[in-house]
Amino acid sequence: MSSDPWGRVDETGTVYVRTADGEQVVGSWQAGSPDEALAYFERKYEGLVVEIGLLEKRVKTTDLSAKDAQTAIDHIREQVDAHHAVGDLAALKVRLDKLVETVDARREERKAQRAKQSDEARHAKEALVVEAEELAQSDQWRAAGERLRSLVDTWKGLPRLDRKSDDELWHRFSHARSAFSKRRKAHFASLDAQREEARKTKEKLVAEAESLSGSSDWGPTAARYRELMADWKAAGRAQREHEDDLWNRFRGAQDVFFAARSSVFAERDAEQSENLKLKEELAEEAEKLVPVQDLKAARAAFRSINERWEAIGHVPRDARPKVEGRMHAVERALQESEEVEWRRTNPEARARAEGLTGQLQAAVDKLQGQIEAARAAGNTSKADKLQKELDGRQALLDQALKGLQEFGG
C-alpha cells in the first residue's frame, strides 16, 4: 500500500483522496505501482490547479462574459466534485467559490456600467432630438442641413437603447429631419417660382431698355432709365443662368444711351466754355457787392449783372453748380440785408417795441418807489422781495431797450 498527505492506494489498486468529509474513491489503478497511481492522479490535480489559475487570470484581465466564466467554473467544479484527482480539493473549491464571487461582482459592475452607458446614450439621443427639432424650424438652410447630417452620424455612433425607447426617440428625430426637408423643399420651390417671375419681369425691362437706347430725348429717357433700374432692383434675382445675361443686356442698353448723351453733352459743353468764362467774370463782379454797404445800389447792380447773366446762355453741365452757386450766395446775402432793413424800418414792430419798453419802464419806476417806501418804513423783508421783482423787470427792460436800438430808437 502507498500513501501521501492527500491520498493513498490500497492493496486492491483503489485510489483514495482525503477530504474534510473523509476519504473519497478517486479510481482504480492496475497499470503500475501504487506510487505511479498517486503520481498520475496528482498530475490531474495539478491540471485542475493550472486550469483554475488560467480562468482566474482570464476573469481579471479579459472581457470574458460572466456567462462564459460561470460555465467554465461549473465545468471545473464538476471535475473537483467528481474526486478524480489527488490533492487539496477543498482549496480548489475555495478558489472556485472566490472566483464565483469575482464573476458576480464583475457581472454587477458590468450591469451598472451598461446601465450608465444606456442612461448616457439616452440623454445624448434626447439632446440630439431636441436640437433636431429646433433645427427643423430654422431658415438657415445650408448650415441647418449640414448640422442635421452631422447629428445623424452622431446618432449612429451611440449605443442602442431598449427597443421601445430607441424607436420613440428615432421617430421624433426622423420626423424633425423630414419636417426640415419639407420646409426646405417648399422654400426653394417658392424661390424658384419667384426667380421665374423675376426673369419674366426683367425680360420686359430689358426689352424696354433696349428700345430706349437710341433715343435722343435725353431728359425723359434718362429719368425712365432710372425708373427701370428701380424696377430691376425691386424684381429680385432671376435664375443664375439667366441673371447675368439679362443684366448685361440691360446695362448694355443703358450704356449705349448714356454714351450717346455724353457725346452730345461734351460737344455742347465745348461750345459753352466761352459762356462759362463770361459768367465767372460776372460772378466775380457780383461778389464785390458783399458785404452790402448800400442796399439800394447793390440791388440795382445785381439786377444789371443778372440780366447780362441770363443773356449769356448755358455753361457746361459739370461747371454749372459751382458758378451758379457763387451767384446764389450773393443773392442770399442781398436778401438777408433786405430782411434786416425791413425789420429795422417796420413801423408796427417799432411801435410794439416802444410800447413794451414804456410799460417796462413804468413798472421799474413804480417798483423803485415801492422799495424806497418800504425801506423808509423799516420793512426790510418787503423791500428785499420787491428788489428781486425789480431785478427781473430791469433785465426785461434792458432787453427791450436793446431791441429798440435796432430800430434806431
The pLDDT value given to residue 201 = 92
101-106: which pairs have CB atoms within 8 A and are 24 or more residues apart? 102/56, 102/59, 102/60, 103/59, 103/66, 103/69, 103/70, 103/73, 104/66, 106/59, 106/66, 106/69
Distance (Å, rounded) from C-alpha 365 to C-alpha 156?
101
- pTM of this structure: 0.42
Residue 154 has pLDDT above 60, yes or no: yes
The pLDDT value given to residue 212 = 84
Q: What is the pLDDT of residues 77-116, one digit of tens each?
A: 999 988 889 999 999 999 999 999 999 988 888 888 888 8
Distance (Å, rounded) from C-alpha 101 to C-alpha 81?
19
Residue 409 has pLDDT above 70, yes or no: no
- What's the average model confidence in pLDDT over 153-173? 90
pLDDT band at residue 63 using 50, 70 and 90 as cut-offs: confident
The pLDDT value given to residue 34 = 85
Burial group, residue 96, by CB count within 10 angstroms (0-12, 13-18, 19+)? buried
Count of CA atoms in the C-beta half-sphere (13 A) of 20? 8
The pLDDT value given to residue 101 = 92
| 79's grid cell | 471535475
Q: What is the pLDDT of residues 280-310, one digit of tens each?
A: 888 898 888 888 888 889 899 989 999 999 9
3-class SS at 12? Answer: coil
pLDDT above 90 coverage of the chain, percent: 31
Mean pLDDT value across the chain: 87
Distance (Å, rounded) from C-alpha 41 to C-alpha 387?
137
Q: What is the pLDDT of residues 239-253, one digit of tens each?
A: 888 888 989 998 998
The pLDDT value given to residue 350 = 66
- Which residue would you say has higher pLDDT here, 36 or 2? 36
pLDDT band at residue 3 using 50, 70 and 90 as cut-offs: low
Can you name the residues that pair with 2 across neighbouring β-strands? 9
Length of the chain: 409
The pLDDT value given to residue 251 = 92
The pLDDT value given to residue 205 = 87
Residue 386 has pLDDT above 60, yes or no: yes
The pLDDT value given to residue 242 = 84
Cα end-to-end span (Å), the chain: 161
| 107's grid cell | 457581472
Residue 349 has pLDDT above 80, yes or no: no
Provide the sign of the torsion angle of the four alpha carbons 296, 302, 305, 307, taken in this order: negative
pLDDT band at residue 346 using 50, 70 and 90 as cut-offs: low
Distance (Å, rounded) from C-alpha 122 to C-alpha 169?
9
The pLDDT value given to residue 408 = 55
Q: What is the pLDDT of residues 120-151, one digit of tens each?
A: 898 998 999 999 999 899 989 999 999 999 99
- Which residue would you say has higher pLDDT here, 344 or 199? 199
